[in-house]
Structures are given as C-alpha cells and as structure tokens.
Structure 1
Amino acid sequence: MLKIDAHQHFWIFDPVRDSWINDEMLVIKHDFLPADLLPVLQQNGVDGCVSVQASQSEEETRFLLDLAAENPFVKGVVGWVDLKADNLDERLQYYKQFDKLKGFRHILQSEPDKQYMLQPQFKKGIAGLQRHGYTYDILIYPEHLRYAAQLAAEFPDQPFVVDHLAKPHIKDQEISDWEKDMRALAQYQNVHCKISGMLTEADWKTWKPEDFVPYLDVVFNAFGINRVMFGSDWPVCLLAGGYKGTMEVINGYCEKLTATEQALFWGNNAAAFYNL
C-alpha cells in the first residue's frame, strides 16, 4: 500500500521569520531538514511526502524546491506566491519548469481580515492557479469556514484542500459550529480535507485517542473516503505526541476501514490530488 505524508514542513530556523514558534515550543525551535525526516518516514512505513510552505516568500518556495530536487522521497511541494501580485501569471509560468511544484498556500489564518480570501484581487489569484493547473491549500480556523465555502462555490473547478481539519477546538471539545460549517464546505466536490495537525489542537500533554473520534467521524462522513488524506504536520506534531503519536491515533481510527478505503486515505488520494 502506497503511503504518502501529504503535509510536512522543512525550515532552517530563523527567530525573526519564525516568531510564531514561541518559548512553549522549544522542541521545534531549530532546523528540520530532509535528513531528519527520512528515518522517521522509514520507521513508519511512509513512502514519500508533500512539503508545505511555512513562511510567505518565493525564497521559501525555491528552498523547498531545491530540497525536493535533492531528495526523491519529497514527491511534491506546496509553495507560496503572492496571489494578489499584478505579475502572478508570469510567476506561475516561471514555476511550470518545476515538476514537483504542485500547488500554493497562503497563511489565511493570520490575516486580520477574516474575509481576505474573498477579496477581488485574491480571487483573481485563485483564478490564475486554476488556469495553470495548481492546487490550493486552505489554512484557516473554524471561523473562516463559511468564507471558504463561498470561495469553493465561486471556483468549482479549482482543487482545494483544507489543512488540519480547519483546526477545530479539540482541547475545549467544541464541535457543533465547526461541524455545521465543515459539512457545508464538504458539499463542494472540489474540496478535500487533510487529516493532519489534530494533536496540537488538543491538550498537548493529556490528549487521549478518543478525543479525536468525533472530529474524525465528521470529516470522514462529510467528505467521503475519496476526499480525505493523511498528513503528519511534522515537525509541528512534535509538540504533542510526535509522528508516533499521530500514527497511533490515525491507525487506530482507520482499522475499521476496508483495505481499499485505507489505500485511498493513506496514499492514493494524495497522489491523485497533487498529481504526484
């Protein structure tokens, strides 16, 4: 069975650029590179990964593409480009030379304007991605879900994937509003969801596998087996149980799936979505 980790990060730690990594996060306050990840993937029987941007610059995109070129197990890159730039078409045309560049992401969750993704210039950028055949990763909090649904409705032919289940408030066991908005978003067949980043939304030290079951039930039920994919969110997952803990939770949940369903979730869906 093909296993793809559809969401992980590399970085050379920079205290200014990476200021989101605070003093509670000392375990990830240093460099993380392919040589650090490869043995972890091998230990967990994972065949390859998709590396996702963590800072908003084209320098970051090139950094990830260089790492992917040197490391065959990095199967795809989700980079960053200024979607509101006047020369976006030119930039996307430039990136066509890199086979491993599959899509783009913007850190929407940090934008002061919660409706940033509905700004005309941003939507013009999404239209550009669609023209050039790139995917888009939606990084948001639950309060942004209704706007993501509007975006998905406006671009029915653009492949979208929600990162980290849109970060539900698992620690506080809040589910009802998130569930309603998640189900509304899942009605759009062009939207997929990554089962990633869950452990860091729970209590880092005291979470139990059963804490995640209600949220997983919602996502698997709403999106269906063809639109969900596994992601570790390594190295951020090291804050709350690491790769091993992440795999234990998801393996436990997936035991009830058929062999065909497991193959889709663990690798085939990501390979199809990102054209790996």
Structure 2
Amino acid sequence: MTIDSHQHFWNYNPEKHAWIDDEMAVIRRDFLPEHLKKVYAENDINGCVAVQADQSLEETDFLLDLAATHDFVKGVVGWVDLRSVSVEKELEKYQSNPLLKGWRHVVQGEPDHNFLLRPGFTRGISLLKKYGYTYDILVFPHQLGAVLEFVKQFPNQQFVIDHIAKPYVKDGFYDGWAVLMQKIAEHRNVHCKLSGMVTEADYKHWVPDQFDSYINLVLEAFGPDRVMFGSDWPVCLVAANYQQVKQLVTNAIAGLSQTEKDKIMGANAMAFYNLK
C-alpha cells in the first residue's frame, strides 16, 4: 500500500487560516476528501493520515468525522492542549476512537525556542505512551537543539519529525540543520517524514537537485525503516503539483531495494500510526 503520511483538510476561513498569506493565495479555498480522492486516484495512493492544521479540539473532531466517512483516510493526528492540567481527561475521551493515532502542536509558531522543554508541555507528552499515541514534531531548524534535548527525555515515546524540520532550502543553508538531524536520528524512537520540502524552496523557481543533499542525509541518518513519504497536500500546491511532490521522493529512493521502497512509501506509516 502507498500511504501519504501527511496531508490536511479544511473549510477555508480567513481568520482561522490567517497563516495562508498572499503568496499562498492558491490554497485559500476548501480542501476536502472529495478533492483529494481524485488526486490519489491519479497518483496511485491508497490512503493517508490527516494532520491538524488548526489548534482546536473542533479541528480534531472535524478530521475524525471525515475519517469515519472516508475509508482512504486511515488515521488522524489531532490537536489537544498538552499543557492543560486536565489533558489526561481529553486523552481518555479520544482513546475510544481508533482513528485517532497521535497529536501535534504547531511548535514552529511558538516564539519560545525552548517551548518543547517547558514542564507543562513535557508533562502532557509523558502521558501519550500510556494511551498508545504518537507525536508529530513540527519545528524550524533553529528549534532542533530543543528537539534533541526533548527526545532524550522520552526514549520510549514514538516521535516523527514533520517536513524534515523545514530546512532553509531557498537560502541553501544545510550544515547546522544536518548536524542536529544526525544527532536526533541516533534516537531510535524518532522517525522522519519526507514531506513539506517544496515550500521551503523558492515556490516558482525550485529544481529537484536542490533537495538531494537534504533527502540523502535523512535517508542515511534515519535509515529506510524510519522514513515515510508525505505530501503536505494541499500546502504543497503553492509550489508544486502532487505528482511532482511524489516524484521527488520516488526518484530519491530509486536505488533502494523494493522492500525498502515499500517501507518508505507506505509500510512505515502503517506501522508507526498503527493503520488498518
């Protein structure tokens, strides 16, 4: 099975989706399962994981409702306030829904570079394993130092880094990102998504070669057992169509064995998120 480990749905709302700036105007509209199903049919994708884009429990419920009525949406990564003193009640409530696989916070948007390490947040993270939940790490490269300290604290929690930690491809910055990604990859409970890359380059003028060094480092550091393909649809449409996004990954892994390719393109996501 080919699984897209990272995509989003939304009913566009200018206030809620204020992060969609003028340069990204092409995605200022609704994106729902009926739109994505067509794209998947054209690109031989069997299923996906829907990931939160808005930090609210309403968003979590919205995604779960979509997953319940569309078989190809295999699981949901939702949002819950992990800093809340009553977070365990929410985790218990959602545990009854088998489609809820994990959680994410938009840490990249937090002004505190050490947000991940604050006691209120780490207390919430410490509860996730008890309920069998994963956690998606969404950060910028300048936050990777905190990520390294963060994952050290939770050796038994399953983590995945979204969008290869958003390296500054447009500016050609590589070394600082690479050093920290290699250190983080030494922790075997941390996985990485080959996703969200095209939007870190120049939207209109990127070329595939720009991503080679970044993708190769991720493949080498994490290995084929801890890397998974993701599209970041519809955000990716700002810079590329779905076929181009998929090809970036399939071309990069063309020299691997069929078993390794199958893992990266689906089996790893199935295992990590416990998809049916």
Unpaired stretches in structure 1, ≥5 consecutive residues: none
> For residue 4 of structure 1, what is the aligned residue in structure 2?
3
What percentage of aligned pairs have identical amino acids? Answer: 50
| Structure 2 Cα separation of the partners of residues 183 and 236 of structure 1 | 27
> For residue 207 of structure 1, what is the aligned residue in structure 2?
206
> Contact 1:146/1:185 (CA < 8 Å) preserved in 2?
no
Kindly state the Cα deviation for residue 30 of structure 1 after the two structures are TM-superposed.
Answer: 0.5
SS of 2:48's partner is: strand
SS of 1:32's partner is: coil
| Structure 2 Cα separation of the partners of residues 197 and 214 of structure 1 | 15
> For residue 116 of structure 2, what is the aligned residue in structure 1?
117
Kindly state the Cα deviation for residue 133 of structure 1 after the two structures are TM-superposed.
Answer: 1.1
User: What CA deviation, in whole Å up to 9, does each residue of 1:14-59 have, x standing for no partner?
Assistant: 1011100011111100100000000111111110000000000000
Kindly state the Cα deviation for residue 146 of structure 1 after the two structures are TM-superposed.
Answer: 1.2
User: What CA deviation, in whole Å up to 9, does each residue of 1:158-206 have, x standing for no partner?
Assistant: 0000000000011111100000011011110010000000000111111
> For residue 105 of structure 1, what is the aligned residue in structure 2?
104
Alignment of 1:1-276 (within 5 A): 2-276=1-275
- What's the TM-score once normalised by structure 1's chain length? 0.99
SS of 2:126's partner is: helix
| Structure 1 Cα separation of the partners of residues 109 and 176 of structure 2 | 20
| Structure 2 Cα separation of the partners of residues 49 and 163 of structure 1 | 15
Unpaired stretches in structure 2, ≥5 consecutive residues: none
| Structure 1 Cα separation of the partners of residues 110 and 196 of structure 2 | 20
Bigger drift between 199-208 and 30-39 goes to: 199-208
| Structure 1 Cα separation of the partners of residues 147 and 79 of structure 2 | 18
| Structure 2 Cα separation of the partners of residues 263 and 221 of structure 1 | 17
Aligned residue type for 1:246: V
Aligned residue type for 2:24: M
> Contact 1:10/1:51 (CA < 8 Å) preserved in 2?
yes
SS of 1:78's partner is: strand
Aligned residue type for 2:100: L
Kindly state the Cα deviation for residue 217 of structure 1 after the two structures are TM-superposed.
Answer: 0.8
| Structure 2 Cα separation of the partners of residues 223 and 189 of structure 1 | 8
- What's the TM-score once normalised by structure 2's chain length? 0.99
| Structure 2 Cα separation of the partners of residues 133 and 114 of structure 1 | 27
Kindly state the Cα deviation for residue 86 of structure 1 after the two structures are TM-superposed.
Answer: 1.0
| Structure 2 Cα separation of the partners of residues 208 and 22 of structure 1 | 23
| Structure 2 Cα separation of the partners of residues 82 and 209 of structure 1 | 38
| Structure 1 Cα separation of the partners of residues 219 and 97 of structure 2 | 33
| Structure 1 Cα separation of the partners of residues 76 and 272 of structure 2 | 13
SS of 1:226's partner is: coil
Aligned residue type for 1:240: A
Aligned residue type for 1:150: E
> Contact 1:49/1:73 (CA < 8 Å) preserved in 2?
yes
SS of 1:128's partner is: coil
- The CA RMSD over aligned residues, in Å, is 0.6
Structure 1 ranges of 4+ moved more than 2 A: none
